Amino acid sequence: MELARGAGPAGALGAPALKRTKDESKSRSRQRWRKAKAKASRLTHSMDLRTMTQSLVTLAEDNMAFFSSQGPGETARRLSGVFEGVREQALGLEPLLGRLLGVAHLFDLDAETPANGYRSLVHTARCCLAHLLHKSRYVAANRRSIFFRTSHNLAELEAYLAALTQLRALAYYAQQLLAANQPGGLFFEGDEGLTADFLREYVTLHKGCFYGRCLGFQFTPAIRPFLQTISIGLVSFGEHYKRNETGLGVTASSLFTSGRFAIDPELRGTEFERIIQNLDVHFWKAFWNITEIEVLSSLANMASATVRVSRLLSLPPKAFEMPLTADPKLMVTISPPLAHTGPGPILVRLISYDLREGQDSEELSSLVKSEGPRSLELRPRPQQAPRSPSLIVHIHGGGFVAQTSKSHEPYLKSWAQELGVPILSIDYSLAPEAPFPRALEECFYAYCWAIKHCAFLGSTGERICLAGDSAGGNLCFTVSLRAAAYGVRVPDGIMAAYPATMLQPTASPSRLLSLMDPLLPLSVLSKCVSAYAGGETEDDSDSNQKALGMMGLVQRDTAALLRDLRLGASSWLNSFLELSRQKFQTNSVPVAEPMRRSVSEAALAQPETPLGTDSLKNLTLHDLSLRGSSKITDTPELSLSGETLGPSTPSDVSFLLRSEDASEEAEVRGEQSTKDKAHGGGIAFPEGFHPRRSSQGATRMPLYSSPISKNPFMSPLLAPDSMLQSLPPVHIVACALDPMLDDSVMFARRLRSLDKLVTLRVVEDLPHGFLSLAALCRETRQAAALCVERIRLILTPPGTAVPASPPI
């Protein structure tokens, strides 16, 4: 009894301890499992492609033989069949990837930057093979266990087999691109009809397998839960959109709450594919603008750095004068934006970590636009900081159709804190209601206003950096090109994160990855570009139109009206020829008065000129590279309309291929052409291979590009050499798995061929748009820190040591 009584308290005290012991044991077990999985992953990724394929084939054959011997059951038959399919696809894919990897180095910027779409496609296929290898090992080790989850493993194997099949199809497409393109070119440059045929074939491929169980398999594991949440939110939003429930209140309460999409990956993948193929740009505009909802934006700001100044300003549409860089005594008039909608105020956001001189001035306060309770984060402070010698002008991304500086405010606040520099972020008008060139006009106007009024912004303006991501990176380049055309100060440097430099629905190796990219599918990219170009905005009358609601229909009708006015953009751009000839005419004194005319006035008054106008419609990147050097070497004499280039002589520099690599690639291309003929001449796939096709019907995607998308102020990659010579130092941060990677690589190669200062840093395993995910994980924080480092490099005066970045 004494023992029993003594055991009572001991047992009571021992129960929590026993529970802690069990918890610790489980924790150690999980840690061991994670370490073993990480070790297996490292070993898998260290394998060469052939060894990995052979290991997978051996395991597949072993598993196939095992399940074939398990009797006539349906599950065993399907498992045997899936391993047979894995074996077949792996053996067919390995030589394709080997050939692509063998020539991939010919398309790199340099030996220190091994990145292009061919490498990315091979890496993605390796990730899929590695996952199948890991799963095959697991099945081989556990298939006899009573705890083996047959249905779960079968579903996962079938999903990754479908993904591997589609990746093999993409490898064949990449092989076709390699054979058809100009030497060293990454973009498909056949005539427009062939391009449309290529895209029409490509978009019929099945995509749903990449948006279910395989979602984000190519990205770093820390990103995948976020992508799953986004995909569930997207399909849930799509359901409410169809039911005409697009009000922000309904969206905020119903988003991410559709449980059936969370528990059924196949259903989620099918619905995701339907949405990206069939819903128009207005849907994506509404979905991407969810981050603008007050609740979500407030939560994001709570987790971001605290700044002293965050003010939304409204710039009045008033003309002002700027001095010419070549002769500061001469002035040029910067007129307010006029394209499509006429003069109107431009919204910009001023962000500063410290309250600096000028930022609380009456002049600036008079421009403040109310945003409600959080519009002003200006707090009293005993002493103002002096003006910064630097200023960052930021242009946000969003596919030209969505988002504002509010969406990008969290990482901009971090920039302001880390760099100690005021930031002015521009809220340009968005397509399709305000297509090209409205955004360019507004960004250029705001950029010039910032330089002229930098004292109000807390800066002396000694160093100016233009920074932007995605569509904003495109606008950074074109604003700089326009500043050079006007003769005003260009920025001291540009930092562009994953920029779009080729706004045409044309294929490239990296754009093939859009088949599986949940953040930037090709059909969505094409719809955004078409909207920005003023092209069609899904005029087909069907049931989806009803989902737009009253405001959506008004927006659509407005876009249709504006589309009728888009031809005015070409006339607007023609005025640059007049400006350029007056500004750079040799042996004459520049006349100030004509330079004061607004762009639209110049376009209306411009007489016809006898200049030759070779059509851009059939020009390729290779053609443009040979047309860049003007006879006047100092400055370009160039017509900037959507259809013409001014007279020029061939350039001695070809940006497409280094001379020492030309013969090597020619041999590869010759061999590839012979193999294509052996497969049936022009047929994308060999006999016996059939990729999976989409069950969602024809994709509603513009297959032909608008002529204006070939304008260098819309697609800076197509600008002649003489224009690109005017750009300041350019620093690009791209993503290896981004469908827009080839835009960055080709643009950097062009600048490098012109002896321009350009750097290209490529981050691994992250998706397009990582700046908006900067707080998500260590990898995104490191990538965001790389952007900050590039900006710091621009803002550091020449001859001064660049300050060390703080540890992450």
Residue 795: both structure tokens together = 């803002």
Helices 741-753, 117-142: inter-axial angle, 10-degree rounding: 140
CA 475 – CA 495 distance, rounded (Å): 11
Question: 289: number of CA atoms within 13 Å, CB side?
Answer: 15
Rounded Cα–Cα distance for residues 535 and 266 (Å): 34
Q: What share of the chain is helix, strand, coil (3-state, %, to 5)?
A: 55, 10, 40
Closest listed residue to residue 689, CA positions, set 168, 299, 245: 168
Catalytic residue among 492, 651, 768, 772: 768
**In this structure, are residues 406 and 318 in contact, taking their beta carbons and an 8 Å threshold?**
no
Distance CA 569, CA 51 (A): 56
- What is the b/e burial string over 684-703, where b = at least 16 CB atoms within 10 angstroms of the residue's CB? bbeeeeebbebebeebbbbb
Query: Which of these is catalytic: 354, 360, 427, 738?
Result: 738
Type and span of the H or E element at 466 = strand 459-469
- Asked if residue 432 lies in contact with residue 562, where contact means CB atoms within 8 angstroms, the answer is yes
Angle between helices 224-242 and 265-278 in degrees, nearest 10: 60
CB atoms within 10 A of CB 295: 10
In order, the DSSP letters of 347-391 are EEEEEESS-BTTTT-HHHHTTB---STTS------SSPBPPEEEE
Q: Check if 206 is active-site.
A: no
The pairing of beta strand 614-615 with beta strand 644-645: antiparallel
Cross-strand partners of 645: 614
768 classed as catalytic: yes
Phi/psi of residue 507, each to 5°? -85, 150
Query: Closest Cα partner for 307 from 413, 162, 450?
Result: 413
DSSP, residue by residue, 124-179 = HHHHHHHHHHHHHHHHHHHTTSTT--HHHHHHHHHHHHHHHHHHHHHHHHHHHHHH
Query: Pseudo-torsion of CA 444, 446, 452, 456, nearest 10°?
Result: -160
Dihedral sign (CA 657, 662, 668, 669):
positive
Which of these, 740, 689, 635, lies nearest to 172 by C-alpha position?
Answer: 689
For residue 5, give the amino acid letter: R
CA 758 – CA 785 distance, rounded (Å): 19
> Which of the following is catalytic: 231, 414, 470, 629?
470
Closest CA relative to residue 495, chosen from 769, 732, 789: 732
Give CA separation, 580 vs 332, 483, 516, 747, 803, in Å: 12, 12, 44, 24, 39
Identify whether the C-beta of residue 706 lies closer than 8 Å to the C-beta of residue 677.
no
Tokens of 537: 């905005």
Q: Is the peptide bond before 225 cis (omega within 30 degrees of 0)?
A: no
Query: Rg of the chain's alpha carbons, rounded to an integer?
Result: 29
3-class secondary structure, 780:
helix
CB atoms within 10 A of CB 231: 24
Angle at 621 between CA 618 and CA 627, to 5 degrees: 85
What are the catalytic residues? 470, 738, 768
